[in-house]
Structure 1
Amino acid sequence: MKQASHEAALEVRADIWLWAARMYKTRSLCKQAIDGGKVDVNGAGCKPSKALHVGDRVRLTRGEERLELEILALSELRGPASVAQMLYRETEESRLAREQIREERRLSGAGLNRPPTRPNKQERRELRRLKDFP
């Protein structure tokens, strides 16, 4: 059993830090992301047990979102979001790239091709015929 110490941790496992920093919802999701190659530490891949230190750079992917973070503090405990945000700082390049991708997605309509108008009676009948066809 671990003993509680009042000293700041010098290193923390990668999966625990990602969970404490609220990058993923559960530790098992952190482990899956690391094993899947979605997390890099200091430009190299890592394992869930990799020791993270203050000043390390973490690059991770969550869905379509890519983040590059600098570790400012270490924690083994998952606290409120306001405390978790104090554990890292997102790089300026990462933030600008995310905002640019978000804007491009918004302008493109997120890939939805909507018809210009609602279908009329004849088009609705044709759609029904197509859908009922086995």
Structure 2
Amino acid sequence: MDPQNGSDKVRIDKWLWAARFFKTRSLAAQAVNGGKVHLNGQRVKAARLLGAGDRLTVHKGGYEFVLTVRQVASRRLSAPLAAGLYEEEPASLARRQELIEQRRLARQVAPQPPAGRPGKRDRRLIKKFIRKSDE
């Protein structure tokens, strides 16, 4: 039961905002209405009521969160308290960690752009290279 408003159900967009999945309720509502959030395996609207024990699947930023709602809240909580509102499935957490690791390794292998503008020596080498290709 939610101590803030005395009910045991709350709108799904409000809960996602309170649990800190989205920065604003508007962004949470857009995600729900855009099909990025599923409640118990079904696509829902932002006004759908959510209760303890419900299962949520949230797609955000290329990651998938599979959660079980432990408590409902209608007010935004601090991060440690917000983390207590839900429990993420271990398989979901493992998939997300693996994807993060893959992206980190891909970033290391990708070529890096130059640090900044070319210095005096670099400009001389560039001019020398360009003059050779003109001849």
Question: Quick check: TM above 0.5?
Answer: yes
The structural deviation recorded for 1:50 is 0.6
Seen in structure 2, the aligned counterparts of structure 1 residues 15 and 7 have a Cα distance that, compared at 3 Å, is closer
The structural deviation recorded for 1:42 is 0.5
Seen in structure 2, the aligned counterparts of structure 1 residues 111 and 19 have a Cα distance that, compared at 3 Å, is farther
Structure of higher CA gyration radius: 2
User: Counterpart of 2:23?
Assistant: 25
User: Counterpart of 1:107?
Assistant: 105
Confirm whether residue 82 of structure 1 aligns to residue 80 of structure 2. Answer: yes
Quote the Cα distance in structure 2 between the aligned partners of 1:124 and 1:100.
Answer: 42
Seen in structure 2, the aligned counterparts of structure 1 residues 121 and 107 have a Cα distance that, compared at 3 Å, is same
Quote the Cα distance in structure 2 between the aligned partners of 1:103 and 1:46.
Answer: 32
Give TM-score scaled by structure 2 length. Answer: 0.78
2:84 counterpart SS class: helix
User: Counterpart of 1:132?
Assistant: none
Seen in structure 2, the aligned counterparts of structure 1 residues 123 and 48 have a Cα distance that, compared at 3 Å, is farther
Structure 2, unaligned stretches of length 5 or more? 131-135
User: Counterpart of 1:48?
Assistant: 46
Q: How large is the RMSD of aligned CA atoms in angstroms? A: 2.8
1:99 counterpart SS class: helix
Number of corresponding residues? 122
Structure 1, unaligned stretches of length 5 or more? 129-134
Quote the Cα distance in structure 2 between the aligned partners of 1:35 and 1:124.
Answer: 53
Quote the Cα distance in structure 2 between the aligned partners of 1:34 and 1:110.
Answer: 34
The structural deviation recorded for 1:112 is 3.4
* 2:37/2:58 contact within 8 Å kept: yes
Give TM-score scaled by structure 1 length. Answer: 0.79
1:12 counterpart SS class: strand
Quote the Cα distance in structure 2 between the aligned partners of 1:12 and 1:25.
Answer: 18
User: Counterpart of 1:64?
Assistant: 62
Quote the Cα distance in structure 2 between the aligned partners of 1:111 and 1:61.
Answer: 27
Q: Which runs of 4+ in 1 moved over 3 A?
A: 5-8, 119-126
